[in-house]
Amino acid sequence: MAADSFLSTAQVVCPPALLDRASGKGAAVTAIVGADHPVALDSARQAQAAGIITPVLIGSRPGIEAEAQQIGWDVSDVEIVEASGESGAAQTGAELAASGAVAMVMKGHVHSDTFMRPLLAKEGGIRSTGRLSHVFHMTVPDSDKSIMLTDCALNVAPNIRTRIAIVENVVELAHKLGNAKPRVALLAASESVSEAMPVTQECEQIAAHFAASGLSAEVFGPLAFDNIVSGDAAKMKGIDHPVAGDADVVVVPTIEAGNPLFKMMVYFMSACAAGIVLGGKVPVLLTSRADPPQARLASAALGAISAQ
């Protein structure tokens, strides 16, 4: 059997509920870093047309104007900030974000490490008192449900303290999305706490922290993946908790656990993955050139909700 026979052929769909909530918040002024490329410009145009963002295009002015003409977008009334090269565009975007001139930053046609470097800089970046973390808001076609995965893209092997901050960031986002008490599952390979699997012990400590914290969320773990998504599986294991089988959020222990999980949902289920970096002065949209337009639009919507 060919490997690609497992891949979903369903059309990726930007969730209407996310667009509706974002468009009701007003357009967020958004720096598009590396805008002199048709993919970046088309993403910005779609988000502007949806009433989600007011774009500030950063890059080569002649390149931006030429590419905009190619896709039929009149940018004469759109702010363009001249910047030379990828590094120059990334630095300009970070400066606009740090100064409060923009409410959000979106990655355009630049390499991810180049884009993030000035944003993460201790001086002049977007760092504040919190910890930066990444969230994927995942939806699948023909379903009105969503699940958020964190952190699948930024923190590689977060310790307990970092995972506590990751939970706090995603819960704040869930509240902005209208979920007053999100159910947060702490992923491990087993629901049993064991010295042989230190992650399970860490999950237990994180759950205990939040049980005493007063955070408006249900945080529970360790839970194996089947017990997170299937109520029947949880019952068979004797797990009786509101999070088991009905999680709104999955907190992964490492990037190696999370990144394949998000990609499996994208490629096997045609999931729409809206990605955002939280915890800084402004939200950051860390889109990929491989992302379909629907995912980039959903990311803009998620960022606008967080920014407002």
- More confident position, 143 or 159: 159
At 189-233, the pLDDT tens digits run 999 999 999 999 999 999 999 999 999 999 999 999 999 999 999
Tell me if 287 sits within 8 A of 106, measured CB to CB.
yes
d(CA 44, CA 124): 25
pLDDT at 20: 92
Q: What percent of the chain has pLDDT over 90?
A: 88
Tell me if 196 sits within 8 A of 189, measured CB to CB.
no
pLDDT at 207: 97
Domain ranges of the chain: 1-128+280-308, 131-277
pTM check: above 0.85: yes
d(CA 159, CA 151): 12
Q: Which CATH class is domain 1-128+280-308?
A: alpha beta
- Which fold, 131-277? Isopropylmalate Dehydrogenase (3.40.718)
Choose among 182, 184, 144: nearest CA to 163. 184
SS3 174: helix
